[in-house]
């Protein structure tokens, strides 16, 4: 973003080729450059996968097939899911981690800058493999982002490419996680004890641990799919003595912690934003850390609640139902703590705070529908219906995505040195929050009424709610163009931001100037 | 990279070492906790017959081991440059061992070599056609500042 | 060390519960080694799963 | 504020649903027609009410704070940041509420999983993209495919009342009988679901899982496949006709008669025009989903039949492809699904439709001979 290193007078005899333009970004090992790259990648992918969602909603505006062939529809739903998870939410959180973790800890850079560069540049490769598969004969992968065999075994070449892309993204996540863990543990400034770390660092530390524990499981699972497809093994093929349901067990053993990987950093961001605008310290900091750890531990023993309908014994259903319900307790602790942080504060409502409040409210709706789905008999009725679609979009759009918006508005002045346009920011917020609810709230009713997910066409009684959802989707989708405009406008210029930016802001990142210089904390700050 | 410059009576001392907040024992425990988690899960799936998880856990633990090894190797490293009177003394410890070099201040030149303006710069203390790199644990900006400081110090 | 082990068990219990007083948390961090916490965490995890299994067993017995 | 309105709407809907027993359900689960479905219905209502209560309390407090504790009204920030007593209380209360929910939920789980003492047993098999039903007690078997015409799906005709939720052969069961379902699949995962009967079970190839229902009321109940199973996942509905005991007996007799005449067809010899006419129907029900009504397939995914080497090559090889499928592709083996007469008819149709002008015909006896060969070879391979 901003490069002040050029400003220093020095003689440069004997320098070699100048990395310019593209080469500058390809070879950069600066945590701020890499953070920016991650965020740009996530933004591009957000618009790509968002356009797919709009195509899906356009097809579903009316019963009957209007725009899309059913097979292409399945390709869109699959790719929308894969890209939103692995190409938008995860890279965006990695971008925040790269920018903020060293700033918050008073470290000069990440522990392994070169590895950081590799971890980022693997992502566009995977992105190109995924998006490019639309052009292959037979089109992109259409078996759902969960990749269940035997359907996944039937597909063409793009299915193998998707497995390769998942491997590449997994490698990237592991390198990123190792970097974040070592940075947080080893690069803290003197006096920055673990207990003084901002909650964002804590949530990312736990997230990185979850990634390291579960990524080999995903890699193994997709590799077994690959060998089943191409080398005649029978891991998941019943005809050869395998078990297709075991894939679901292995997959969800990875993917349930993955769900928390997608939400814990969001908790971290919101826990930074709310105290700032309430002008009051975070309520129950220690409890927040313990609740995060508790959620992470529980995430390893609840995976089978994604598969209550595969037909498991009653005892197994009870086990997974009880342990899933318990997750509501630490999650509730977090929500109560956020509300208690606002209680008797001195609040102002700038855009980051608005997104954070919407996060607390709407994420809780997603939490309640999660509790409904935790009850096994109700889940069996609602599994694979639009109720589930509504549930995870409340968690991932008004949860993860809104926290990302909150974080961008919160730290953008620090990154660029310019204040964003508050009026445009508010427009973005209100259109997003209204649009988002119009899209996803009616989906609860669709699911209750019995509309299955992943269908390109539906029975007549589902028409009205689908039409409402489609209208909402276009409002929500197009209001993201405002977000793009705000970001571009802020990068280009605007009112100068002070180093503290927000009146109530606390933490090391607000002690460096805005924009944050290319290099910060060469000399470690001393934290008291 | 703490306390990069210290000035004692009459002498200019530059001392730097990589940032390191964990002790060796703590590092080892963090590594084994991570490795045990990944391996435990992989062994569980292998016992059920889904052994292909195991090689990936192995690769990941390998990467972790390399990373923690690199951290530990950095741990005891330091470099010190002292200018006292006419003597310039360099002392360092790196992954491949310790070293010491004494130079005569009048013959010393500071060379900086950047692959692009202000980026990927290395600075070395040269004398008699032979250079020793300094400021390895700083990054570019601080390194260039160090070069400027050293040049002004050596001119006197 | 016995006191330390008890302290580790308590810390793990609180972490499962999800609430912790700041002062106790600081004390935990000062007095406990990571190894103790890891071992206490593993034991706590196993104990937790066993408790859940017991609850399930009781439910199966008495809700038929 | 939009959110608030929607929330109020949802609250009213849930409240209304509890008050007026089973009225109109645009905002809740479908009207239950089995004991399990109604238990689930009440469980869901109870949980929704609890959630709404918590929501109102927590966010009532938050919105109160948002209004009262603003800087713009001059509120000064307090500086408390911890209160362990309060935290313990708000951890314990949800825990107690959860235990209150877990008890009734566990009872329903155990009732749902109890498939003992059935009055009758039906085996259900999922295919890409239709359902097969085998009545194990009566010996009746049939396939059930989507009855909505392509013209309605492609918006060329007005959509009927039960658009996409109608089949050619519905499943028929007697009212008030405990029906045990054995559910499996032939190719990929499917899931059999009729919301009003409260039975949903994944169909897993190579494994048989069971479920059960007992319909309270005579009527027609509709559902759909709910596990992504490929291109026509959205086009394999389920229709269950719940009828009286006497009607059920009559239906079984009728089905047995139809099976006998189909068996007789296998011994006959047809002329080419008869085969083509019959084959066109078989093609529309079984082949057109992939290979398309015009025989052109979908480039890159499903091959064309019009002008293909198989349909214009030796007739025996053509029959074998239909009988045994193409392992490793989406082309299923139709040997078990179709009778000899139907296979002969569809092969004849394919060889004489579109650009294919072979002029020949396959006879049921030919199919039977090839089928015998395949069955003789299969045990040897194992």
Sign of CA pseudo-dihedral A440, A441, A447, A450: negative
**A20: annotated active-site residue:** no
Active-site residue identified among A33, A59, A109, A509: A109
| Residue A439 pLDDT level (bands cut at 50, 70, 90) | very high
Neighbouring C-beta atoms of residue D250, cutoff 10 Å: 12
- Residue to mutate among B27, B29, B35, B44, with most C CBs inside 10 A, is B29
**A453: annotated active-site residue:** yes
Predicted pLDDT at A14: 35
Residue A239 lies in a domain: yes
How close, in Å, is residue C6 to chain A by CA atoms? 18
How close, in Å, is residue B108 to chain A by CA atoms? 17
D328: Cβ contacts below 8 Å, ≥ 6 apart = none
Q: Are residues B142 and B116 in the same domain?
A: yes
Q: Are residues A461 and A358 in the same domain?
A: yes
Active-site residue identified among A426, A453, A454, A519: A453
**A256: annotated active-site residue:** yes
Q: Which chains touch C (3 or more CB pairs under 8 A)?
A: A, B, D
**Which chain D residues touch C27 with a CB distance below 8 Å?**
none
CB D285 within 8 A of CB D145: yes
Q: Does A289 touch chain C (CB under 8 A)?
A: yes
Q: Between the ranges A59-63, D89-93, D285-289, where is the mean pLDDT highest? A: A59-63
Residue A4 lies in a domain: no
Q: Does D110 touch chain C (CB under 8 A)?
A: yes
Nearest-angstrom CA–CA distance, A309 and A384: 9
**A109: annotated active-site residue:** yes
Tell me the mean pLDDT in the region A182-199: 86
Helix, strand, coil shares of chain A, percent, nearest 5, are: 70, 0, 25
Q: Are residues D109 and D91 in the same domain?
A: yes
Contact B141 A519 (CB under 8 A): yes
pLDDT cut 90: percent of chain A above it: 71
| Residue A253 pLDDT level (bands cut at 50, 70, 90) | very high
Residue, of C18 and A477, whose pLDDT is higher: A477
**Which chain A residues touch B68 with a CB distance below 8 Å?**
182
Which among A150, A172, A77 has a CA at the least distance from the CA of D184? A150
Contact C18 A294 (CB under 8 A): yes
Q: Is the pLDDT of residue A445 over 90?
A: yes
Residue A341 lies in a domain: yes
Contact B30 C38 (CB under 8 A): no
Contact A111 B71 (CB under 8 A): yes
What Å distances lie between residue A374 and A368, C48, D191, D266, CA to CA? 10, 19, 20, 52
Q: Are residues B84 and B105 in the same domain?
A: yes
Q: Does A340 touch chain D (CB under 8 A)?
A: yes
| Residue B43 pLDDT level (bands cut at 50, 70, 90) | very high
A12-21, B49-58, B59-68: lowest mean pLDDT where? A12-21
Q: Are residues B14 and B90 in the same domain?
A: yes
Q: Using a threshold of 3 CB pairs under 8 A, tell whether chains D and A touch.
A: yes
Residue A511: half-sphere exposure toward Cβ, Cα within 13 Å: 14
Q: Are residues B110 and B133 in the same domain?
A: yes
CB C22 within 8 A of CB A282: no
Q: Are residues A375 and A490 in the same domain?
A: yes
**A422: annotated active-site residue:** no
Mean pLDDT for all residues in chain D? 85
For the stretch C13-28, pLDDT in tens is: 776 666 677 677 777 7
Active-site residue identified among A31, A38, A78, A145: A145
Q: Are residues B46 and B121 in the same domain?
A: no
How close, in Å, is residue D100 to chain A by CA atoms? 11
Residue A56 lies in a domain: yes
Predicted pLDDT at D289: 77
Domain that includes residue B137, residue range: 5-20+76-155
**A393: annotated active-site residue:** no
Q: Are residues D210 and D314 in the same domain?
A: no
Q: Are residues A125 and A267 in the same domain?
A: no
Predicted pLDDT at D382: 31
Give the A:C interface size as CB pairs under 8 Å: 58
Q: What is the largest CA-CA distance in chain C?
A: 50
Orientation of helix C34-62 relative to helix C2-17, angle to 10°: 60
For the stretch D17-34, pLDDT in tens is: 444 443 445 788 889 999
DSSP A514: S
Q: Are residues D14 and D63 in the same domain?
A: yes
Tell me the mean pLDDT in the region D156-183: 93
Scored b (16 or more CB within 10 A) or e, B46-81 reads beeebebbbebbeebbebbeebbeebbebeebebbb
Minimum Cα–Cα distance from C22: chain A residue? A286
Q: Are residues A238 and A288 in the same domain?
A: no
Active-site residue identified among A33, A59, A258, A350: A258
The token pair at B90 is: 């360099």
Q: Are residues D151 and D177 in the same domain?
A: yes
**Which chain D residues touch A65 with a CB distance below 8 Å?**
153-155
Q: Does D88 touch chain C (CB under 8 A)?
A: yes
For the stretch A338-375, pLDDT in tens is: 999 999 999 999 999 999 999 999 999 999 999 999 99
How close, in Å, is residue C20 to chain D by CA atoms? 7
Q: Between the ranges A84-98, A502-516, D135-149, where is the mean pLDDT highest? A: A84-98
Residue A11 lies in a domain: no
Q: What is the 3-state secondary structure (H, E, C) of A86-142?
A: HHHHHHHHHHHHHHHHHHHHCCCCCCCHHHHHHHHHHHHHHHHHHHHHHHCCCCCCC
Q: Are residues D71 and D88 in the same domain?
A: yes
Residue A315 has its nearest CB partner, among C20, C41, C56, at: C56
Q: Are residues D208 and D340 in the same domain?
A: no
Predicted pLDDT at B9: 56
For the stretch A125-136, pLDDT in tens is: 999 999 999 998
Tell me the mean pLDDT in the region C34-60: 78
**Which chain C residues touch A301 with a CB distance below 8 Å?**
49, 52
Q: Is the pLDDT of residue A12 over 60?
A: no
Give the C:D interface size as CB pairs under 8 Å: 17
> At which of D65, D91, D113 does a domain end?
D113
> At which of D210, D239, D261 does a domain end?
D261
Q: What is the 3-state secondary structure (H, E, C) of A324-367?
A: HHHCHHHHHHHHHHHHHHHCCCCECCCHHHHHHHHHHHHHHHHH
For the stretch B113-132, pLDDT in tens is: 776 555 567 788 888 777 77
**A145: annotated active-site residue:** yes
Predicted pLDDT at D10: 55
- Residue to mutate among A206, A290, A296, A299, with most C CBs inside 10 A, is A290
Q: Are residues B85 and B127 in the same domain?
A: yes
Q: Using a threshold of 3 CB pairs under 8 A, tell whether chains A and C touch.
A: yes
Q: Using a threshold of 3 CB pairs under 8 A, tell whether chains D and B touch.
A: no
Which among A322, A270, A319, A321 has a CA at the least distance from the CA of A292? A270
Number of structural domains chain A divides into: 2
**Which chain D residues touch C63 with a CB distance below 8 Å?**
106-107, 110
Residue C17 has its nearest CB partner, among D91, D106, D110, at: D91
Domain that includes residue A431, residue range: 263-519
Nearest-angstrom CA–CA distance, A417 and A490: 9
Phi then psi dihedrals of residue D217, to 5 deg: -130, 150
**A2: annotated active-site residue:** no
Residue A405 lies in a domain: yes
For the stretch D239-291, pLDDT in tens is: 999 999 999 999 999 988 888 887 777 777 888 888 888 888 888 878 887 88
Residue, of C52 and D169, whose pLDDT is higher: D169
Minimum Cα–Cα distance from C63: chain D residue? D107
Q: Are residues D49 and D139 in the same domain?
A: no
Q: Are residues A192 and A335 in the same domain?
A: no
Contact C35 B29 (CB under 8 A): yes
**A331: annotated active-site residue:** yes
> At which of D63, D89, D113 does a domain end?
D113
Contact C19 D82 (CB under 8 A): no
For tokens 């939009």, name the residue: D2
Q: Does B69 touch chain A (CB under 8 A)?
A: no
Residue D84 has its nearest CB partner, among C19, C60, C63, at: C19
**A51: annotated active-site residue:** no
Q: Are residues D128 and D257 in the same domain?
A: yes
Residue A187 lies in a domain: yes
**Which chain B residues touch C34 with a CB distance below 8 Å?**
26, 29-30, 33
Q: Does A209 touch chain C (CB under 8 A)?
A: no
- From chain A residues 383-402, the ones with a CB under 8 A of any chain B CB are none
Q: Are residues B82 and B131 in the same domain?
A: yes
Q: Are residues A335 and A399 in the same domain?
A: yes
ipTM: 0.84
A98: Cβ contacts below 8 Å, ≥ 6 apart = A31, A32, A34, A35, A38, A110, A116
**A271: annotated active-site residue:** yes
**A16: annotated active-site residue:** no
Q: Are residues B53 and B83 in the same domain?
A: no
Q: Are residues B115 and B149 in the same domain?
A: yes
Phi then psi dihedrals of residue D51, to 5 deg: -60, -45
Q: Does D98 touch chain C (CB under 8 A)?
A: no
Containing H/E element for B33?
Answer: helix B24-47
Contact B4 A220 (CB under 8 A): no
CB A193 within 8 A of CB A151: no
Residue A3 lies in a domain: no
| Residue A263 pLDDT level (bands cut at 50, 70, 90) | very high
Q: Which chains touch D (3 or more CB pairs under 8 A)?
A: A, C
- From chain A residues 501-520, the ones with a CB under 8 A of any chain B CB are 517-519
Q: Does B30 touch chain A (CB under 8 A)?
A: yes
Nearest-angstrom CA–CA distance, A106 and D69: 33
DSSP A418: B
Q: Does A227 touch chain B (CB under 8 A)?
A: yes
Q: Are residues D334 and D230 in the same domain?
A: no
Which among B53, B35, B94 has a CA at the least distance from the CA of A178? B35
Neighbouring C-beta atoms of residue A423, cutoff 10 Å: 10
Contact A65 D155 (CB under 8 A): yes
Domain that includes residue D208, residue range: 120-261
């Amino acid at each position: 973003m901003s490069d002040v290193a050029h400003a220093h007078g020095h003689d440069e005899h004997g320098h070699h080729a100048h990395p310019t333009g593209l080469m500058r970004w390809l070879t950069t090992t600066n945590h701020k450059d890499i953070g920016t790259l991650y965020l740009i990648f996530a933004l591009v992918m957000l618009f790509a996968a968002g356009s797919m969602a709009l195509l899906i909603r356009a097809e579903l505006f009316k019963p009957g097939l209007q725009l899309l062939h059913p097979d292409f529809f399945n390709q869109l739903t699959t790719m929308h899911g894969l890209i939103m998870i692995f190409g938008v939410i995860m890279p965006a959180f990695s971008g925040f981690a790269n920018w903020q973790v060293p700033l918050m800890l008073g470290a000069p850079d990440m522990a392994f800058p070169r590895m950081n560069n590799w971890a980022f540049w693997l992502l566009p490769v995977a992105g190109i493999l995924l998006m490019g598969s639309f052009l292959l004969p037979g089109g992109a992968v259409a078996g759902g982002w969960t990749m269940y065999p035997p359907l996944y075994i039937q597909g063409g070449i793009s299915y193998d490419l998707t497995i390769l892309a998942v491997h590449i993204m997994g490698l990237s996540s592991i390198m990123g996680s190792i970097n974040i863990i070592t940075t947080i543990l080893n690069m803290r400034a003197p006096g920055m004890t673990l207990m003084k770390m901002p909650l964002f660092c804590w949530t990312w530390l736990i997230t990185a641990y979850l990634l390291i524990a579960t990524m080999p499981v995903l890699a193994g699972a997709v590799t077994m799919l690959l060998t089943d497809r191409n080398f005649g093994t029978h891991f998941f093929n019943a005809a050869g003595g395998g078990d297709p349901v075991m894939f679901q067990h292995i997959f969800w053993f990875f993917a349930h912690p993955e769900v928390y990987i997608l939400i814990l950093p969001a908790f971290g961001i919101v826990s930074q934003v709310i105290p700032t605008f309430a002008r009051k310290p975070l309520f129950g900091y220690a409890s927040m850390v313990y609740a995060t750890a508790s959620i992470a531990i529980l995430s390893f023993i609840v995976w089978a609640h994604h598969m209550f309908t595969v037909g498991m014994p009653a005892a197994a259903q009870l086990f997974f139902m009880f342990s899933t319900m318990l997750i509501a307790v630490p999650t509730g602790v977090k929500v109560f703590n956020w509300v208690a942080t606002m209680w008797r504060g001195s609040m102002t409502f700038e855009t980051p705070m608005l997104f954070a409040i919407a996060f607390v409210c709407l994420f809780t709706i997603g939490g309640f529908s999660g509790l409904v789905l935790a009850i096994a008999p109700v889940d069996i009725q609602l599994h694979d219906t639009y109720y589930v679609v509504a549930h995870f979009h409340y968690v991932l759009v008004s949860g993860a995505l809104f926290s990302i918006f909150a974080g961008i508005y919160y730290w953008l002045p620090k990154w660029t040195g310019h204040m964003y346009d508050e009026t445009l920011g508010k427009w973005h917020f209100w259109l997003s929050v209204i649009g988002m609810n119009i899209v996803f709230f009616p989906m609860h009713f669709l699911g209750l009424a019995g509309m299955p997910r992943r269908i390109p066409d539906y029975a007549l009684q589902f028409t009205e709610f689908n039409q409402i959802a489609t209208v909402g989707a276009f409002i929500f989708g197009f209001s993201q163009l405002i977000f793009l405009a705000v970001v571009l406008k802020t990068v280009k210029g605007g009112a100068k931001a002070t180093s503290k930016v927000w009146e109530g802001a606390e933490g090391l990142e607000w002690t460096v100037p805005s924009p944050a210089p290319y290099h910060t904390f060469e000399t470690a700050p001393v934290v008291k | 990279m703490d306390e990069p410059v210290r000035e004692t009576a009459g002498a200019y001392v530059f001392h730097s070492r990589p940032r390191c907040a964990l002790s060796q024992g703590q590092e080892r425990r963090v590594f084994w906790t991570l490795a045990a988690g990944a391996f435990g899960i992989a062994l569980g799936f292998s016992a059920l017959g889904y052994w292909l998880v195991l090689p990936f856990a192995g690769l990941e633990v390998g990467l972790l081991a390399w990373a923690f090894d690199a951290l530990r190797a950095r741990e005891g490293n330091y470099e010190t440059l002292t200018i006292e009177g006419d003597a310039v003394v360099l002392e360092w410890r790196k992954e491949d061992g310790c070293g010491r070099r004494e130079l005569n201040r009048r013959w010393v030149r500071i060379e900086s070599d950047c692959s692009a303006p202000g980026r990927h710069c290395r600075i070395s203390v040269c004398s008699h056609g032979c250079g020793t790199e300094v400021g390895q644990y700083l990054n570019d900006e601080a390194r260039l500042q160090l070069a400027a400081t050293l040049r002004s110090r050596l001119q006197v | 060390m016995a006191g330390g082990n008890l302290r580790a068990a308590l810390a793990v219990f609180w972490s499962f519960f999800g609430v912790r007083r700041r002062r106790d948390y600081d004390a935990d961090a000062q007095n406990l080694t990571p190894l103790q916490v890891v071992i206490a965490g593993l034991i706590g995890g196993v104990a937790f799963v066993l408790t859940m299994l017991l609850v399930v067993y009781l439910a199966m017995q008495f809700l038929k | 504020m939009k959110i608030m309105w929607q929330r109020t709407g949802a609250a009213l809907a849930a409240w209304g649903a509890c008050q007026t027993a089973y009225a109109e359900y645009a905002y809740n689960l479908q009207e239950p027609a089995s004991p399990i479905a109604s238990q689930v219905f009440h469980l869901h209502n109870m949980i929704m009410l609890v959630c709404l209560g918590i929501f109102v309390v927590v966010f009532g407090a938050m919105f109160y704070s948002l209004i009262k504790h603003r800087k713009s009204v001059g509120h000064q920030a307090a500086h408390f940041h911890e209160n362990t007593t309060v935290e313990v209380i708000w951890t314990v209360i949800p825990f107690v509420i959860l235990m209150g929910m877990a008890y009734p939920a566990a009872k329903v789980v155990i009732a749902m999983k109890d498939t003992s003492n059935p009055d009758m047993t039906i085996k259900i098999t999922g295919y890409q993209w239709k359902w097969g039903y085998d009545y194990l007690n009566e010996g009746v078997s049939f396939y059930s495919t989507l009855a909505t015409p392509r013209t309605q799906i492609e918006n060329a005709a007005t959509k009927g009342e039960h658009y996409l939720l109608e089949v050619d052969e519905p499943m028929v069961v007697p009212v008030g009988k405990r029906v045990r379902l054995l559910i499996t699949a032939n190719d990929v995962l499917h899931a059999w679901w009729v919301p009003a009967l409260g039975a949903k079970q994944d169909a897993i190839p190579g494994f048989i899982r069971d479920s059960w229902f007992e319909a309270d009321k005579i009527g027609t109940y509709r559902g759909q496949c709910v596990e992504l199973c490929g291109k026509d996942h959205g086009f394999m509905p389920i229709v269950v006709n719940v009828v009286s005991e006497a009607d059920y007996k009559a239906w079984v007799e009728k089905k047995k008669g139809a099976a006998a005449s189909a068996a007789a067809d296998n011994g006959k010899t047809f002329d080419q025009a008869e085969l083509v006419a019959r084959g066109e129907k078989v093609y529309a029900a079984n082949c057109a989903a992939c290979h398309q009504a015009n025989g052109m397939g979908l480039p890159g995914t499903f091959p064309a039949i019009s002008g293909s080497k198989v349909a214009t090559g030796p007739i025996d090889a053509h029959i074998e492809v239909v009988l045994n499928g193409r392992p490793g592709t989406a082309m299923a083996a139709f040997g078990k699904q179709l009778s000899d007469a139907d296979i002969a008819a569809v092969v004849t149709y394919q060889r004489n439709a579109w650009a294919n002008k072979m002029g020949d015909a396959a006879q049921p006896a030919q199919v039977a001979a090839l089928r015998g060969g395949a069955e003789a070879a299969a045990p040897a391979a194992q």
